[in-house]
Chains A and B, each alone.
Chain A
Amino acid sequence: MARSALLAVGLLLGAAAPAEEPLRVFAAVSLTEAFGEIAGAFEKAHPGTPLEISFAGSQVLRTQIEHGAPADVFASADLVQADALRQAGTITRYDVFARNTLVVAVPANEPKVHDVRDLAKPGLKVVVAGPAVPAGLYTLQVLARLAGSGHYGDDYRSRVQANIVSEEPNVRLVLSKVALGEADAGLVYETDVLTAPAVKAVAIPEELNVSAEYPIAVVERSRAAARARAFVGFVLGDEAQALLRKHGFRGAADPADP
């Protein structure tokens, strides 16, 4: 009786684990689709190395890693999180494997925003990622650049600020609020818009936009460092780079934005 109960608990908790420990990859939520495919390609190329990918806001993943979460590889949406981990010695080096840029996501049906100037229209509902989220940090930079350009009026920044109704914990929640039509506009990555049919992108002028750099690193305390390095190498390789481009990312080798 007690034994069968223990067995049941063991089964529930996954005691029947696969022979090989999975490689644990912590990845920015904007990488969801691209890394899903890259994982499939990697597992095909390296049989016996199952991947377990945990997607969340990069800042959340960083906090989890700082507090001892069992990550082997960290793929972040900005350098801030990776630099913080490097300073703490949690990672020793990173490679930029992809680039991205921001757009204004608007509902595909009857959008009220047609260019960045419209973000300042009174009564609009604009959703952004919170200031601790990489996408939120990029949003602050872009808004500062747009305001600083002088093209959109002196009070552009404060008028856009007045329209911001929510600071979401990750960029995909920004996207879903726009997809549901609850918000009129949201600042997200160029690649995010490709994942949501109900949403279309309004471009931000190239010279005022930012280039989001995605670093990838092996976590120092990883017990599967060799396999982790193999995965990082795979992400930087041709096959994965092609998959990233397919999902709208600019590759590591592509020229950076202005």
Chain B
Amino acid sequence: MSGLARAESSRGLWAASSILIVFLAVPLASLVVAVPPGELAAQLASPMALRALALTLRTTIIATALCVLLGTPLAYLLARGRFRGRDILDTLVDLPITIPPVVGGVALLLAFGRRGLLGRHLDVLGIQIGFTTVAVVMAQVFIASPFFVKSARAGFEAVDRRLEDAARTLGASPAHVFVTVTVPLARPALLSGVVLAWARALSEFGATIMFAGNFPGRTQTLTLAVMTALESDLEAAAAISMLSLILAIGALLGAKRLGAGRGAPVA
């Protein structure tokens, strides 16, 4: 392709891309413009915003850790296992991504609520999950874990099995091979799965309001705080939205650096 043709096609590509770029950028920029810096500082120091921020960080970090802990074995099973019903299991993992989060919240209530399938037995034991911080974390894991599992599975699938086999013939145990060969090779996919799951947990709203309710300091995360503030004070809502935006940007930039720095593919 000649230089001119390349320049022209790249110009066409830019033109074709510009609509979506503008569509994505303008609302986010409007959010930034809507809140004067002084107002932002004042709103962010409000007890409502601080409590929501603390709760959000606490719950999303725990939820993401659970996604990794519980999701890694499942992702590996889906990547390497050859068994009947794998497609069904695969669909099950995809479902929380495709159903509306509010439906996920209702489902959680019907399972773990006081009169739920499992919840009624827990209730007898004196364990009630609804309206607690535990419910917030459960809603986040329900909605966010598929994002980690999908990404991790793709990562494991891309690992060359011959490298694992080589390590095994050299006498390494399966667990040792997994930790020293598979995980490092799948590292970029695992990291991007962590970020995706965390970001999804951060923006979780529908399942949380259904299953955990809305109470400051206990179940009111940043998204619920935005919704609550929106009802009386648009500036406060915009300021708390900014906070979410800052968290998201931080996460994405951090993930890019981590991914680029240490997860370089082995040549």
Interface residues in chain A, defined as those with a beta carbon under 8 Å from any beta carbon in chain B = 57, 59-60, 63, 67, 125, 127, 130-133, 164-169, 173, 177, 180-183
Contact = CB atoms under 8 A, between A and B. Distances in A.
B134 to A, nearest CB: 13
B113 A169 contact: no
A164 B115 contact: no
A55 B230 CA distance: 17
A60 B231 contact: yes
Binding site of B, secondary structure by majority: helix, strand, loop or mixed?
A: loop
B215 interface: yes
Interface string B194-234: 00000000000000010011111011000000011011101
Interface residues of B, number: 21
B228 A132 contact: yes
Contacts of B76: none
A111 to B, nearest CB: 13
B131 interface: yes
14 contacts: A59-B231, A59-B232, A60-B231, A67-B234, A125-B130, A130-B228, A166-B212, A166-B219, A167-B213, A167-B215, A169-B214, A169-B231, A181-B113, A182-B109
A176 B109 CA distance: 11
A63 B113 contact: no
B114 interface: yes
A132 B48 CA distance: 14
**Nearest 3 interchain pairs by C-beta:** A166-B213, A132-B231, A165-B131
A125 B131 contact: yes
Contacts of A164: 215
A167 B131 contact: no
Contact of A168 (B113, B128, B130, B214): B214
B149 to A, nearest CB: 29
Contacts of A169: 209, 214, 227-228, 231
B198 to A, nearest CB: 25
A180 B115 contact: yes
Given A181-B113, A182-B131, A165 B213 contact: yes
Contacts of B131: 125, 165-166, 182-183
Nearest to A107: B115
Nearest to A169: B227
Interface in B98-153: 109, 113-115, 128, 130-131
